[in-house]
Structures are given as structure tokens and as C-alpha cells.
A and B are shown apart, each in its own frame.
Chain A
Amino acid sequence: MRKHIGMGVAILASAVLLAGCSTGGGESTETEQSGEELTVWVDANRKPAVEAAAKAFEDETGATVTLVEKNFDDLRNDFIAQVPTGEGPDITVGAHDWLGALVAAGVVNTIDLGDKAGEFEQVALDAMTYDGQLYSLPYSLETIALIQNVALVGEDAPATFDDMIQKGLASGAERPFVINTNGQTGDGYTMYGFQTSFGAPVFVQDDSGSYTNEVGMGGAPGEAFATWLGANGEKGTGYFSTTIDYDTNNELFNSGKAAYTVQGPWAIASFADVEVKVNPIPSAGGQPAAPFVGVQGFYLSSQSENTLLANEFLVNYLGTYEAQKALYEADPRLPAWTALADEVSSDPIIAGFLASSKNGVPMPSIPEMGSVWDFWNAAEAQIIAGADPVSTWNTMITDLTAALEG
């Protein structure tokens, strides 16, 4: 009797197995509902804003938009790795300085804004243009500017670096000026305003404003900047120090120990304890200071199987005032949509950053930019720490030129 029950259970189990197999097969032949599917990669900040535009798109075309949330820092490498395999998304959000790497990997498609191009800030379009072709729909800008403690030094913008130091010293604060050097790594990005005021841009710009491959920070202007940096470094006046990293910088400014600092709009939230005024970066070398401008936008994959829908979504849904406003509200940055930028300029802090961006230049996005940062940051950190400015700078220029050619 028991043996029969045992056999019976075994037969039942096999029947279940076979039934499971057949239902599995049945499910896979079910067809999808309406239309096609778009995959968009966003990060946590931008997801709610893109959701609103996606909803409108889904209602009008019947396609489904799938938003995949990823870490912003992972987006670039994952996009380059996955698109060639065919498993990538159709659209991704990204920063403009990825453009060189994305073009070198062949993973982005060109975008045609047509008449809409007039609605965007020119610097945003320039940043997203490589070799004359536009590759992305921009939506926000960011730049750094001089931030000053109103209680200590008032609201007036200092004319030059020395002027700023004088005012800082006169205010009685522990340090007149503090700036992030990223510790031992160095931060060429934050120092760039001062560097351009010596007339030493990282690359020479051609007539249309794009960067050539010619290194422009060598020669006498570069050496002048390096000498000035060394003079103000740890062995000199001490205003630049490798002991100051991002958090230390913000802490010193926020506690009133420093009168001036140079930072971007993302740091304003850390300065809750002081009243701030945002002004353009003062010149240190005589020429106007032109800080780096970073642009964020949406890229289109070159291996997308839904190019038509993706273009439609990008240009006609994300490229509208409503969607740009939703993006601004979800993640407040300087808008690239001119009408919106004018609207939000009523906030003096935003107006200050916008004014700084008017003088700014886009970060170069050539594919070799990665090695440029490595050499450049390291050289600046060494100069600030006390190495001989001129020889360190010139060695860096030589290494950089060799790496760009190699």
C-alpha cells in the first residue's frame, strides 16, 4: 500500500513538471500590447521630471517608455560598454564632457533640433557639438563662481584676485580665501578661472569656438600661472593648500572662517549658515576669468532600434518649455532653455551663476580628456605642495602633448 502511494506521488510530481513546462511555453507566445518600447536611462534626481514627459508621450503615441534608474557616475561607462552589444538603452542622460569618449566609441547618434535650436543657450549647444554635429539635447548648465560671505565682505564683487585678498584680510576672517584642491589629487577644474585670466587656456579654440588638439597652456602665460600658483601655495602665502578637500572647503566657508570661496551651485546647500552673494570670478593675471561650463543633456544611442520614436520623444517632448521646467524643478540647475533661464534669474544666486557662465567656456570633450585631467591635476597639486612651478608645469605640458599624440 505504501509503495503504491510512493509511486503515485512520483507520477504526480512528473505530471506537475510537464505541466509547468507547457505553461511556460504558452506565456512566451503572448504578444505585447500597443506599439514599441523606449528605454531611457536616468539617475535618481531626474527621474520624476522625465516621468512627466514620458507620460504625455505614452498617451499620445501608445508606446511605452521604460525609465531605468542608475547611478550618474556609472552611466558613461555602462553606456559605452552596453550599446555595442545591442543591449543598451535608446536614450540616456549625461554630461557634455562625455561626448568625446562617446563619439570615439561610436555609440551616439546625431540630433537635429531644427528651429528649436534657437530656444537654447548658445554655449549649451556649443558644448554638445563635436566636429560641427550636435549630439544631444541640452537641458542644464553648471559653472562655478565666486561666493562671498555678505556679513564679512558685503556684496560688491572684487575686481581682481589681490583686491579680493585685501578685502578678505580686512574683514578679519581667519582665512581671506579658501578653495578646494581635492586633497592630493589636485583640481584643475576649479582653478580654471584663474588660469584663463593669465591667458593660458587648456586647448586653443578655433574660430567656431570648438577646441583643437593643440595644447594652449604652455609657454609664458602657463609659466606665469604656475609661478603665481606656487607663490600662493603652501610654501608661499598658503591660500592654496592640499589639505583642503571638498568637505573641508565647504565647512570652512560655512562656519565663517573664510570670506571668499569658489564653488558651484551644488554647494550652495552646504552654506546654509551664512548669507552668500555670487559674483564672477576675479581675474588674477589681467585677462577676464573664464571658468568651465558643464552642460547636461540627453544622448541618443546609435544602435537604437527605435530611432524614430526616440527622436520624437527627445525633440518634441523633452525639448519643450514644460518638460524643461519640470526638469528644472526636479533638479535645480541653470536651465539651458533661454526663456526659462530668464525666468529663474529673479533668484539672485541663480543670476550670479548665470552671469559667471556668460564669461565661461565649455569643458573640452575630446576623447583624450581623461589623460589630460590626470596629468594636469597632478601637476597643480605638486606645485601647490611646493614643487618648482616652472619645471613641473613644463614637464606636464610635455607629457600631455606626448599623450595626446600617442
Chain B
Amino acid sequence: MSLKQEAVQASPQLDDGSGRRARESHARNWRGLGGGFVVKLVLMALINAFGVLVVLSAYRVENWFILVGMVLIVAIADWVYFAKRTIPLKYLLPGLVFLFTFQIFIFGYTAYIAFTNYGTGHAGTQEQAVEAALIQGERRVDDSPTYPLTIVQQVGVLGFAINDDGTVRVGSEEQPLSDAGEMSGSGAPAEVPGWDVVDRAQLLSDKELQQSVVDLRVPMSEDPNDGSLRTRDAVTAAVYTSTLVWDEQAQTITDTTTGTVYHATDRGTFTSDDGESLPTGWAVNVGFENFTRLFTDPDLAEPMVLVLGWTLVWSILSVVLPFALGLFVALVFNDPRVRGRKWMRVLFVLPYAFPAFMSALVFRGMFNAEFGIINDLFFFGADINWLGDPTLARIAVVWVNVWLSYPYWLLVCTGALQAIPSDALEAAEIDGASKFRRFRSIILPLLLVSTAPLAISSFAVAFNNFTVIYMFNGGGPSIPGAPYALGYTDILISAIYDISGVSGGAADYGLASALSIISFLFVGLVAFFSFRQTRKLEEFQ
């Protein structure tokens, strides 16, 4: 075949039936240098290489979840970008991958934690709790001397050889310590008949050997009550006794000195019959308990009801007030009679440029009852307790949020106001409608068409506005008797932060996760119903 025919055959022309030839995507195009296809091949090669790297690393650390997840993602990416008909997915896939990784996976993990009691005292698995208890229970015998030590081995069995005041004594796990000769000096034994000395260089380069040496316990004698020899640094050894014994069959830990038996409970603790518990526990599944605790625990329920109520009020005020103020200022600046509009607009938008974090801290200083500038300048030195009185603190924090958010609405409304057709307004003016009537019936509905979705998302943001609340007053004057230092200006998200114990208190990640999910459901429901309401606005279009 000639070159031309080959070329025609290699790139089939698509016919959409209207007689025009649709151009094939240059990513599938082999014609010419095939640049588009080569670029796609290189990019997909990079993605596949990254995927293979992650899969190999996951295999090495035996993390099957990441391994399977990565295989799926790479397989889907290959299929989407090399198939012909998956055109919408080609645009959506990166977004979907990130949505899955950073939102859905996190949501799933939070949901998983919400059904456990992971937190202070319940940090690991039961195995780790047992290990920890045994570590805590192994105590050095009070009058035990520190013996110079040599690590020895015999036919693959590890042993300890100590210098007990001139006598060399050697033993292993199975064989209690016995005399093995005399030596002079106070150093560690240099050689032991019948055993090979393990020198330090060999020890330091073998990780498994080190772990065996640290785990080795050589009984002092046939009587277990005499304790056993233990070393931590392979240079010296001392006598230790284990006061706690783990019985896997019975799932109990017994304290040999007092005889107390601690049973493994289904709450993830080792508890004795009189209610004493060992400090270390493990995380267990507690079902829906974290969710119902909000309603059943009276100490928590009362302040949380206050917090929830305030969160709703705060979110609504944080949308309505800045919107109203922004709209008012936008209307004022819309009027061509106002002088210096350009400069005024810049000035009024300025609060939007300041980081919320910094502004909240600065306002906290300004609202200080004794030293704050607001009391000094605007209230003539009165000691108004902005931060200490519940109602005043709430007013103050709403004010700070309005100051921070209204420039956003100013910008949005300025844009939206330009889009309102002026002929409708003129017609209304001719018909004799007052300014307020024009505003209420024409400007506001048309404005809401474009800003209603923004208002809903603004509600969701305000519901979770941790920064302003926490930086301004740490949640406000504390509610007397509330656990976790909950306060009058705490919203749900900052209450969750206090409960989660990240700031240093007792951590209860399970409860915090359950509350996060409740918060998500709440905001989700409000957003859902609000979006349905905005459909009514479409008739104004």
C-alpha cells in the first residue's frame, strides 16, 4: 500500500452522519509525529510507574489495603484514559480520585473510629496492652547488684555469663544460673568454658540477636520467686521479678504479689472483681454507644444542647448579617452619585485580606475588659466584660465574624447587581414603585438566584468555623460544671476539639468521631433541604 493509503487507514475518520468528518482527538492520533499520543503515553507511563512503586512498597510493609487500592486506581486510570467512550470520566477522574482519598476514605475511617472507644487508655490492640502490662509489672529486685555481663551462646542457645564477685556464673532461658569457674577482676567474664562469647560488634550489627538478648530472662535458680536476670544494654545485668502473669486461655492477668486477678473485659480494660483496673487498655468496638451518649449522659447532654443551639444561631447570624451588610454597602456603591467609589471599595474589602486567625487574636486583645482599646475608645473606659459575660462574648464573636465575612458578600453582591437588567427597574419606577418596593420585588429575588447557593455553602462553613471561635476566646466563658471545659461560645466543632483531647486533656477519639458524623449529617440535611428550596428561585430566571 502507498503511504497515503496507510495513513488514511491508520486514522479512521469518524462520521457523525451529518456529512461532516468529526476530528479525532489528538490524543488518539497517530498521524504525523503523533505528538498528542506520545504525551499521553508518557503521562500514563508516569502514573503507572508511580502505581507500581506504591504497590511494591505496600507489599514490603504488608499493607494490603493500600496495595489493593492502588492496583484498583491504576487499573481504572488505564481503562479510562485508553478507552474511547469514557470521555466525561477523563475529565472527572483526577477529581474523583482525590475526592475518594481525601474525603470519602477519611469519612469512612472516622465512621470506623466512631464505633470504637479509641482514646486515652485504649490506644492499641489487646496484645500490646498485655505487653505493656508485663513491662510495667517487671520490677528490679530492691537489693539486686549490677553484674558485669557477657553474652554467650552454645549450639544456637543464647545465655548470660555474669561476674558475681569473682565467680563466673552462666545460664540460659531453660537452664538456671550455675557456677562455671573463677575469675579475677571486676569486669565481665572474658571466656566461659563450654560456651562461645558473642562479641559486641556482632551483637550491634544483628537486630534480631539484639531483640533476643533484650527478651532473654535467665532464672536465678530453680525457684521462680528468686527472680531472673535481665539486661537492657548487654553490658550489665540485674535481677528482676515479674509481678504480673498473663494467662491467655483464661484471658486474665494475675498479680502474684497480691493475688488479684484482672479479667479482660469487653470494654477493653483489665479489671479485677473489686473494680480496680490496670492502666493500659485496648480499643474495642462499642457499637452505637458513642452516638447515644449525647442523649443518655446527663453531664454531657446539657452543655451540648446549649452548644448545639448556639451553633445554629451562630451559623444563621453569620450568613444573614454579613450578607445584609455586604448588600447594603454594594447598593450604596452602586449609585453613581457616590464619590471616590474605587478607593472606598478597596478600603471596605480590606478585612477580607486579613487572615482570620490573626484577626481573631487581635480582636481578643481589643475586647479585653481592662486593657482593651474598644472599652477605652468607644465606651469611655467602662469595664464592660466582653469576654467574661456569656451574652456579651457571643455578641463580640458575632461582630468579629461579620467584620471578617462581609467583604466577601460585598464583592459577590457588587457583581450580581450588575447582572440585574436595568430596564426592569426603570419600568418599575415608571409604574410608581417605591425604592423599597423595587428592592424587595425585583433586585432581591434576582440577586438570590445567584447568591442562594453561596449562602448555603456559607452556612456550612460558618457551622464549622473553628478558627474564629477558638482563637477569639477558646470557646468562651466556661459553662459551670461542664466537662471538657465547654463554654458559652463553643460551637459543635470546637466542642469536638475539646472532647477529642488533642489540646492535652483526656482524649476520646471515638466520641469525637461520632459527634463529627452527627455534625456532618446535620449540615448535610440543612444543605439538602436548602438546595431544594432554591429550585423555586429558578422561576425568576
Contact = CB atoms under 8 A, between A and B. Distances in A.
To the question of whether A and B form a pair in one complex, the answer is yes
Interface string B26-69: 00001111100110011001001100110010000000000000
B232 A311 contact: yes
A387 to B, nearest CB: 7
A2 B10 CA distance: 13
B34 A9 contact: yes
Nearest to B11: A3
Contact of B232 (A100, A307, A367): A307
A385 B483 CA distance: 19
Nearest to A247: B365
Nearest to A85: B124
A55 to B, nearest CB: 17
Contact of A105 (B7, B32, B124): B124
A148 interface: no
A368 B204 contact: no
A243 B369 contact: yes
Interface string B468-506: 000001101110111111010000000000100110111
Contacts of A308: 203, 210-211, 213-214, 232-234
Interface stretch (A199-207, A336-344, A369-377): A369-377
A81 B6 CA distance: 63
Contacts of A14: 41, 45
| Chain A interface main SS type | helix
Interface string A363-404: 000011011011101100110010100001001000100110
Contacts of B41: 10, 13-14
Contacts of B534: none
A21 B49 contact: yes
Given A105-B120, A115-B146, A84 B476 contact: no
A307 B124 contact: no
B121 A243 contact: no
Interface stretch (B73-81, B92-100, B136-144, B434-442): B136-144
B368 interface: yes
Nearest to B60: A28
Contact of B506 (A2, A10, A302, A370): A370
B233 A315 contact: yes
Contacts of A399: 299, 481, 483
Interface in A81-111: 81, 83-84, 100-101, 103-107, 109-111
B117 to A, nearest CB: 13
Nearest to A371: B506
Interface size class of A (residues with CB under 8 A): 35 or more
A30 interface: no
Given A106-B129, A112-B232, A184-B478, A9 B33 contact: yes
B506 A368 contact: yes
A80 B123 CA distance: 7
B480 to A, nearest CB: 6
B236 interface: yes
A106 B124 contact: yes
B128 A101 contact: no
Nearest to A134: B140
B38 A105 contact: no
Nearest to B364: A183
Contacts of A287: none
B387 interface: yes
Contact of A6 (B34, B281, B484): B34
Given A103-B132, A315-B232, 12 more contacts: A2-B32, A80-B123, A105-B124, A106-B280, A307-B232, A308-B213, A308-B232, A316-B235, A367-B121, A373-B504, A373-B505, A387-B480
Interface of A: 1-3, 5-7, 9-10, 13-14, 16-17, 20-21, 24-25, 28, 34-36, 61-63, 76-77, 80-81, 83-84, 100-101, 103-107, 109-112, 114-115, 131-133, 183-186, 241-244, 248, 302-303, 305-309, 311-312, 315-316, 367-368, 370-371, 373-375, 377-378, 381-382, 385, 387, 392, 395, 399, 402-403
Interface of B: 3, 6-7, 10, 30-34, 37-38, 41-42, 45, 48-49, 52-53, 56, 120-121, 123-125, 128-129, 131-133, 135-136, 138-140, 146, 203-205, 207, 210-211, 213-214, 232-236, 238, 279-281, 299, 368-371, 385, 387-388, 473-474, 476-478, 480-485, 487, 498, 501-502, 504-507
13 contacts: A10-B41, A13-B45, A14-B45, A36-B210, A83-B124, A100-B279, A244-B370, A302-B135, A305-B211, A307-B211, A308-B234, A378-B482, A392-B480
Closest 3 pairs (CB-CB, A-B): A106-B132, A6-B34, A370-B505
